């Protein structure tokens, strides 16, 4: 009987973990942020959106900054693969 209870608690807890595939945003807000005001939640949402936008820009810049290196590596790997296949 106890193992069934532990299983249910695990399923419940998993829904509160934001990185879980079973994350339940409504449950998370109702349990974890039950005393958080709407204004605070809105401010938090805005901060998350701003952070996400910044990270997206950083990733785009990283790709732009390293694109030539990637192409060079790809060309080298393709050349190595071709020479290995010729040797076989």
Contact 31, 16 (CB under 8 A): yes
CA distance 69 to 71: 5
The b-or-e profile of 16-26 (16+ CB within 10 A means b, else e) is eeeeeeeeeee
What are the boundaries of each domain within the chain?
A: 1-35, 36-88
Assessment of whether the complete model's pTM goes beyond 0.75: no
pLDDT tens digits, one per residue of 43-81: 999 999 999 999 999 999 999 999 999 999 999 999 998
pLDDT tens digits, one per residue of 20-51: 899 999 998 998 899 999 999 999 999 999 99
């Amino acid at each position: 009987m106890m193992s069934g209870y532990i299983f249910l608690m695990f399923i419940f807890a998993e829904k509160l973990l934001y990185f879980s595939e079973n994350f339940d945003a409504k449950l998370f807000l109702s349990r974890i942020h039950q005393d958080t005001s709407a204004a605070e939640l809105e401010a938090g949402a805005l901060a998350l959106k701003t952070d996400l936008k910044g990270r997206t820009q950083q990733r785009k810049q990283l790709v732009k900054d390293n694109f030539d290196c990637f192409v060079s590596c790809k060309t080298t790997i393709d050349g190595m693969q071709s020479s290995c296949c010729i040797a076989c």
